[in-house]
Amino acid sequence: MFGVGTRAGAAALIVLLAGTVGADVGPPPPPSPTDRGPVIPPEENPNYPRCKILSFSTEPDGSFILTIDKGSAHKLKVGMIGYILQGPDFTETLLHTEFHIVKILDANHSLARIPPGLLKQLNQKNNRAVISRK
């Protein structure tokens, strides 16, 4: 065929490699579990109640304090874990938004905290969350 050091050899190699550039390699792989938050059960599951974030504030250490609309009447306890939801129907968890219930204020209100360094910012459209009773 063509010698390795010849122009024709180099051209043949380029043509050979060019055939693999646009080759169909199938669809891209699905996002890894680290690209999104944990999968949550359907809304009907009583062990994962949904709640609304009424307000939030940023602390000097970079953590976020959330006020949510669930409390002792909804069987919440200090230490329970929750996640902020996203998407048009609030069925996906927002990555790096794991929070912990830190104080039960009354029957219908609690405080939760997202530790510093997990989340850079939070906005008003992220106002839904899910809590895990497990």
Helix, strand, coil in percent for the chain, rounding step 5: 15, 35, 50
Q: Is the pTM of this model over 0.75?
A: no
78-107 average pLDDT score: 90
Domain count, the chain: 1
The CATH number that applies at residue 77 is 2.40.30.10
Give kind and range of the element (H or E) at residue 2: none
Structural domain containing residue 102: 36-132
For residues 44 and 39, give the distance between their C-alpha atoms in angstroms, rounded to a whole number: 15
Mean pLDDT, the chain, rounded, equals 78
Check whether 31 has a pLDDT greater than 50: no
The answer to whether position 49 is within a domain reads yes
86 — pLDDT class (breaks 50, 70, 90): confident
47 — pLDDT class (breaks 50, 70, 90): confident
The answer to whether position 90 is within a domain reads yes
